[in-house]
Amino acid sequence: MPRIAYVNGRYVPHMFANIHIEDRGFQFADGVYEVVALMDGKLPDEVGHLDRLERSLAELEIPMPMTRRSLKIAMRELVRRNRVVRNGALYIQVSRGVAARDFKFPAADTRPTLVMTLRNMTFDIAARKAGAKPVITVPDIRWKRRDIKSTALLAQVLSKQAGVKKGAAESWMVDDDGFITEGSSSNAWIVDKKNRLITRPTSNNAILKGVTRSALQALCKREGIELVERAFTPAEAYKAKEAFTSSATALIMPVSSIDGHKIGDGKIGPITDKLYDLYIEYANHPSGKQEKWNPR
């Protein structure tokens, strides 16, 4: 069965999905995106992702291409049309739209471009828990509005590729003051010697407010896991008892080493393991925040 994509109100075969050559998302990266995990037919943290989508668009003065209710309907229809996909990644991208190439904003009536795709993924939790991965640190060369989930991702691409060349699964970026901000496609976490979970606080010029990150924060509060939001250095991370990354599709990735420094015993630690179980339980029991969709 061929993959189906959504492009400006039409559901089309993925291989034939296209946008105009003068779309500002293509020419200027003038747009934003979200990635929502599809887990057993559910969209975990859908509300959080749509909240962040609306915020990012507002920061760039791009109107929503449709109401949230209509967007949720379109998302579910895309899932239905890709009926063989039960676990995957639903990608949403909104650009300012099509206009003659010019740096300034186009006319106010320019219609935003909305595209969505869905790709298959597996969530073998046991395998993921067993697969602790190495990370490296690299300089953070991104722009200062890191709170916007912009499609301008070249700095992250270069950071990720630097890790690939060294056999690492992720790259943790380090700011000019010597503190870790976040991963190229994830948030960064460590557990110190006092079993405190540490992650960098969000701000416009530091890190993106990860939706999975927010869910983990809420779970920590509920379960009494001590969480400290502060900056930390690579040197402190090297001495951590545990470390992991979080993101919408990777969920939680245990970190085995940082810049060659072994973390704990190189395997998933007890706090990371507990948070993984708590998050999967949360994803499977949405408490009204997620909705199950049964493709026909």
Active-site positions? Answer: 149
The alpha carbon dihedral of 150, 154, 159, 164 has a sign of positive
Burial class (CB in 10 A: 0-12, 13-18, 19+), 146: buried
The separation between the first and the last C-alpha atoms of the chain, rounded to the nearest angstrom, is 14
**Share of the chain residues as helix, strand and coil, in percent rounded to the nearest 5:** 30, 30, 45
* Kind plus residue range of the DSSP H or E element containing 296: none
266: left (phi over 0), alpha (psi -120 to 50) or beta: left
Q: How far apart are CA 127 and CA 64, in angstroms?
A: 38
Strand ranges (DSSP E) for 59-151? 88-95, 113-120, 133-139
Query: Considering only CA atoms, which of 152, 252, 170 is closest in space to residue 210?
Result: 252
